[in-house]
């Protein structure tokens, strides 16, 4: 039997976490016919990740012995089944089975009383198991990119009073029950790109709902369909609330004629407001320009060597982003972080880098360099080689974990491991030969954005696919447009967050500051 040094080390040091991922691990799984039985003797583990191993098609029932597991991450493999004994792992809080070949989920999942996060996105699921309402601590469910046609009846249960995020985009769901209003903690609902023909008015009764996405559904109510493609959540919920009131009036039978007329006048007023908002959005906050043919235009050359490391790259220039007023820069950085955590899978799927375009010297080259020769000035640090930086980040991550008494692997650990075993690292290099980006690790201090930045270079890289880069870039641009609109409408004072010296100045006029111009590179 082939030795697994990672497992031996975890046993010897009585470690609480273990991460197995990448090509080397996949080769051993292939030669052993699966994971070694010694893995299931590590009963102290509370974090186990086995990912990016296409040879892994099943998990042995011996997984039931790891009863202290709190996080089980089995993403980006080729799993076709998960044993029902997973229900024995009573301490499990996070279960990530995303990007596999699962056609069904074990009924045992419903026995996981401590489960907080369930991610089964990017599989071949046609249905979810019943009984999920028994997992009363569920806060996040992601079932996107499957073949699900309907939600199980008990999912919309008052027992799930902590469920705040439900993502079910890119499925074949044809109906959304009005019972969804029982999810009192629901904040985010994404059922885009499904087969819904209507949205229940009861959805407006979800008291904490802040973000909804119904795009890509052919709704019978064409006004509502237009709204979901352009309006903010608040406006859509108000429209649904108005429809609900109208329906209840009709069901009430004979009511006072004058009262009905007043209701109709209110509806017309709201309809006019919604129409105005749609028209305002349709004027548009983003103008997209094609690749410039001007000889001095910024370009990016991609060298062939990146194909074995991190092959996919999308870039653009963005003008008109207002970062100076109030907390605008802080909101922008928080939005980028949220995209990294969610859509980018904590940088494991894709990475976004932002630069002050005025500080970028073109033409740029997307290239690879050996770790000892790749020098960069990381954000907030001195110049160092990639080897030194990664060593330092590992030390800092370990220290942070000890300080906070965490036993699990941090998000930082996760994307540091993406470069393990690579003989060369990807980097974006400017005309001076300086590295301005080292994905997925850091940007350079040389091109760091500030409140005074007026033109940004946005860069998205991925080892997954070019479409992934495009999707992330689209999401980033949309979020920037929303933030710019917010900044324009809320007249904050420049420098009000204490990040800028000098006298405070009022924000720019909304008419001149909310439009973004995106130049493709």
CATH code: domain of residue 11 = 3.80.10.10
Top-ranked range on mean pLDDT: pick from 14-18, 89-93, 421-425: 89-93
pLDDT value at residue 260 = 60
Contacts of 436 (CB under 8 A, 6+ apart): 355, 360, 364, 428, 429, 430, 443, 444, 446, 447
pLDDT for residue 36 is more than 70: yes
Among 102-111, 326-335, 393-402, 448-457, which is the least confidently predicted range?
393-402
Q: How far is CA 28 from CA 24, 51, 56, 57, 280, in A?
A: 7, 13, 10, 13, 58
DSSP per residue, 445-508: GGG---TT--EEEEEEEESS-HHHHHHHHHHHHHHHHHHHHHHHHS-PBBTTTS-S-S---BPP
Mind listing the pLDDT tens digit for each residue in 306-361?
A: 988 899 999 999 999 999 888 999 999 999 999 988 888 778 888 999 999 999 99
Q: Is the pLDDT of residue 24 over 60?
A: yes
Which of 124, 141, 161 is the last residue before a domain boundary? 124
Q: Residue 137: pLDDT band by 50, 70, 90 thresholds?
A: very high
> Does any domain span residue 185?
no
* 220 located within any domain: no
- E strands, 92-239, in order: 94-96, 117-119, 140-142, 165-167, 188-190, 211-213
471: number of Cβ within 10 Å? 17
- DSSP per-residue letters across 303-330: -GGGGGT--EEEEEEEE----SBTTHHH
Q: Choose the most confident range, by mean pLDDT, from 11-20, 284-293, 400-409.
A: 11-20
User: Distance (Å, rounded) from C-alpha 186 to C-alpha 241?
Assistant: 17
pLDDT at 63 over 50: yes
CATH number at residue 433: 3.50.40.10
What is the count of structural domains for the chain? 2
Asked, for residue 6, whether it belongs to a domain, the answer is: yes
Q: Residues 221-270: pLDDT tens digits?
A: 888 888 888 767 888 888 888 875 555 444 444 455 556 666 666 666 66
| 4 falls within a domain | yes
306 burial via Cβ count (<10 Å: 0-12, 13-18, 19+): buried
In a domain, 189, yes or no: no
Q: Which domain holds residue 105?
A: 1-124
Above 70 in pLDDT, residue 404?
A: no
* Predicted pLDDT of residue 506: 47
Q: Which of the listed residues 124, 142, 166 is the one where a domain comes to its end? A: 124
Q: Which among 124, 142, 164 is the end of a domain?
A: 124
Residues of the chain with pLDDT > 70, as a percent, come to 83
Q: Is residue 231 part of a domain?
A: no
Residue 72 lies in a domain: yes
The mean pLDDT of the chain is: 85
User: Whose CA is closest to 79, among 39, 122, 110?
Assistant: 122
> Is there a domain that residue 414 lies in?
no
């Amino acid at each position: 039997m082939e030795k697994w040094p990672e497992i031996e080390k975890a046993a010897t040091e009585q470690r609480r976490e273990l991460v197995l991922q990448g090509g080397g691990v996949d080769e051993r799984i292939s030669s052993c016919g699966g994971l070694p039985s010694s893995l299931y003797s590590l009963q102290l583990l509370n974090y186990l990740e086995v990912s990016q191993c296409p040879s892994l098609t099943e998990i042995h029932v011996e997984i039931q012995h790891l009863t202290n597991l709190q996080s089980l991450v089995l993403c980006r493999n080729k799993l076709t089944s998960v044993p029902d004994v997973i229900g024995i792992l009573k301490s499990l809080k996070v279960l990530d089975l995303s990007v596999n070949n699962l056609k069904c989920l074990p009924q045992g999942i419903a026995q996981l009383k401590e489960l907080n996060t369930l991610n089964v996105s990017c599989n071949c699921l046609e249905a979810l198991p019943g009984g999920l309402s028994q997992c009363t601590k569920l806060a996040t469910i992601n079932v996107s990119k499957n073949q699900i046609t309907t939600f199980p009846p008990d999912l919309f249960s008052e027992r799930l009073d902590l469920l705040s995020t439900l993502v079910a985009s890119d499925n074949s769901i044809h109906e959304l029950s009005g019972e969804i209003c029982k999810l009192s903690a629901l904040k985010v609902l994404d059922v885009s790109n499904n087969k819904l023909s209507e949205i229940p008015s009861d959805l407006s009764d979800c008291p904490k709902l802040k973000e909804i996405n119904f795009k890509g559904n052919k709704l019978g109510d064409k006004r509502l369909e237009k709204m979901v493609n352009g309006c903010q959540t608040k406006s859509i919920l108000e429209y649904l609330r108005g429809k609900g009131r109208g329906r209840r009036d009709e069901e009430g039978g004979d009511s006072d004629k004058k009262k009905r007329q007043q209701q109709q006048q209110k509806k017309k007023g709201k309809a006019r407001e919604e129409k105005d908002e749609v028209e305002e959005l349709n004027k548009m906050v983003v103008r997209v320009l094609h690749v410039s043919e001007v000889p001095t235009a910024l370009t990016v050359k991609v060298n062939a060597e990146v194909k074995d490391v991190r092959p996919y790259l999308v870039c653009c220039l963005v003008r008109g982003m207002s970062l100076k007023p109030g907390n605008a820069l802080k909101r922008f950085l928080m939005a980028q972080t949220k995209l990294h955590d969610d859509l980018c899978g904590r940088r494991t799927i894709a990475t976004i880098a932002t630069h002050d375009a005025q500080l970028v010297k073109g033409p740029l080259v997307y290239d690879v360099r050996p770790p000892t020769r790749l020098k960069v000035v990381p954000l907030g640090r001195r110049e160092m080689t990639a080897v030194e930086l990664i060593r330092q980040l590992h030390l800092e991550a370990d220290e942070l974990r000890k300080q906070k008494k965490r036993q699990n692997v941090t998000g930082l650990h996760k994307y540091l491991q993406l470069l393990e075993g690579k003989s060369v690292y990807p980097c974006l290099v400017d005309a001076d030969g300086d590295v301005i980006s080292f994905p997925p690790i850091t940007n350079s201090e040389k091109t760091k954005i500030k409140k005074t930045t007026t033109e940004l270079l946005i860069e998205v890289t991925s080892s997954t696919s070019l479409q992934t880069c495009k999707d992330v870039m689209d999401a980033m641009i949309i979020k920037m447009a929303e933030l710019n609109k917010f900044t324009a409408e809320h007249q904050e004072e420049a420098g009000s967050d204490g990040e800028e010296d000098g006298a405070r100045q009022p924000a720019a006029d909304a008419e001149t500051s909310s439009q973004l111009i995106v130049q493709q590179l």
